[in-house]
Amino acid sequence: MIDLKLLRDQPDVVRASYARKGGVPELDSVIALARRHKEKLAEVETLRAEQNRASKAIGKAVPDERQTAIAEAKKLSDRLKEMDPELDQLSLELERKAAILPNLVHEQVPDGTTEEENVVERFVGDKPSFDFVPKEHVELGETLGIFDGDRGARTSGSRFVYLTGKGVILELALVRFVVDLLLERGFTPVVPPVLVREKAMYGTGFLPAEEQEYYRIERDDLYLVGTSEVAIASMHAEEILRSDQLPVRYAGFSSCFRREAGSYGKDTKGLIRVHQFDKVEQFSFAHPDESWSEYEVIRKNQEDILQALEIPYQVLVMCAGDLG
């Protein structure tokens, strides 16, 4: 969740950052709510201090003034009983509405509102050239028996596939290759739960703004994760990691599940936008002062993997509006 103090005290900073993303319509209403909450909190704290003073005054009052002091303390107590639920309701409403606000945009992120304005930092490797027309991955994969989309759709609906034969062996080999590489670099392999509680989804920012993208098991009030990041981020919930323990690095391997609700009609065949897939995720608990250098460690690992596999790639810097 965004820093509420920043939201209340420096709304123009937040507004300017969101403007780079194309604006956030809910911002002004959340700012107003945050200010109301602060005012109500101050009112309750003032009243509580007055109640404490009134309670102490009872013990110090002479007999003739004691009933008056008791009546004053009861008046303040009754008023607090009315205001506490009001403050609780405001707190819940503020927490719910502030949770949909995105993170602020880092100053190094380029301006832009669409993916066409993303900036290519560099190309690495040479794209292969062929003296024939290469097949699309769907035709190639199904011809080689690597995956079967038709049977996947028949069994589970669109955007589901069976990995078959050499496709399974290829995935397992790639997973083992990546896990071995990360293990050598200080990452601990983890196979995390793929069903998590709501608080884990909120804690990683996937709820409430992106709720339509994830599967929910209503009977058990659990969510299927779209990335192992969710469960790994929750591994140390309610724990304190000492600075001398950091960084704590994990390589999470899990199946991932996404509804792809916003991609109707796009890539309906093949392996590009499926509802279920397996992934190795790099995750690090790092000191805030070291977060940028830790990001560079993770990115270097990604590039080393692609280079070892001799896959040409581009390093893309996403613009503000395409960050989500």
Question: Is residue 68 situated within a structural domain?
Answer: yes
Same domain, 280 and 140: yes
Question: Is residue 114 situated within a structural domain?
Answer: no
Structure tokens at 164: 């078959």
Kindly state the helix (H) or strand (E) to which residue 53 belongs, with its residue range: helix 27-60
Same domain, 67 and 142: no
53 CB-near residues (< 8 Å, 6+ apart): none
Per-residue model confidence (pLDDT) at position 64: 82
Question: Is residue 185 situated within a structural domain?
Answer: yes
Per-residue model confidence (pLDDT) at position 72: 85
Question: Is residue 278 situated within a structural domain?
Answer: yes
Look at the chain and report how many structural domains it folds into. 2
Same domain, 158 and 237: yes
Number of H helices, E strands in the chain: 10, 10
Helix/strand/coil for 250: strand
Same domain, 157 and 254: yes
Per-residue model confidence (pLDDT) at position 2: 83
Same domain, 66 and 157: no
290 CB-near residues (< 8 Å, 6+ apart): 246, 247
Per-residue pLDDT of the chain (324 residues), as tens digits, is 788 899 999 999 999 999 998 899 999 999 999 999 999 999 999 998 888 888 888 888 878 888 888 888 888 888 889 999 999 999 999 998 998 899 899 999 999 988 899 999 999 999 999 999 999 999 999 999 999 999 999 999 999 999 999 999 999 999 999 999 999 999 999 999 999 999 999 999 888 888 889 999 999 999 999 999 999 999 999 999 999 999 999 999 999 999 986 556 566 688 888 999 999 999 999 999 999 999 999 999 999 999 999 999 999 999 999 887
Same domain, 83 and 150: no
Give the structural domain span for 145.
136-285
Same domain, 168 and 58: no
113 CB-near residues (< 8 Å, 6+ apart): 21, 22, 319, 320, 321, 322
Per-residue model confidence (pLDDT) at position 197: 97
Phi, psi for 50 (deg, rounded to 5): -65, -40
Across the chain, the runs of DSSP E, i.e. the strands, are 119-124, 147-148, 162-163, 188-190, 195-197, 216-217, 222-224, 248-257, 276-285, 313-317
Same domain, 90 and 180: no
Report CA 64 to chain centroid distance, whole Å: 62
Question: Is residue 128 situated within a structural domain?
Answer: no
User: Among 230, 227, 239, which Cα is nearest to 201's?
Assistant: 230
Per-residue model confidence (pLDDT) at position 18: 93
Structure tokens at 157: 């609906």
Same domain, 162 and 252: yes
Residue 214: how many other CB atoms lie within 10 Å: 19
Which single residue is written with the structure tokens 């004691």?
Answer: 66
CB 250 within 8 A of CB 284: yes
Which of 45, 74, 98 is the endpoint of a domain? Answer: 98
Interstrand relation of 195-197 and 216-217 (parallel, antiparallel or unpaired): unpaired
* Distance set, CA 20 to CA 90, 175, 272 (Å): 29, 38, 29
Same domain, 180 and 53: no
CATH number at residue 55: 1.10.287.40
Question: Is residue 21 situated within a structural domain?
Answer: yes
| Residue 91 Rama label (left phi>0; alpha psi -120 to 50; beta) | alpha
Per-residue model confidence (pLDDT) at position 266: 64
Return the ∠ at Cα 201 (arms to 196 and 202), rounded to 5°.
140
Question: Is residue 87 situated within a structural domain?
Answer: yes
Question: Is residue 290 situated within a structural domain?
Answer: no
Same domain, 152 and 257: yes
Same domain, 143 and 279: yes
CB 208 within 8 A of CB 100: yes
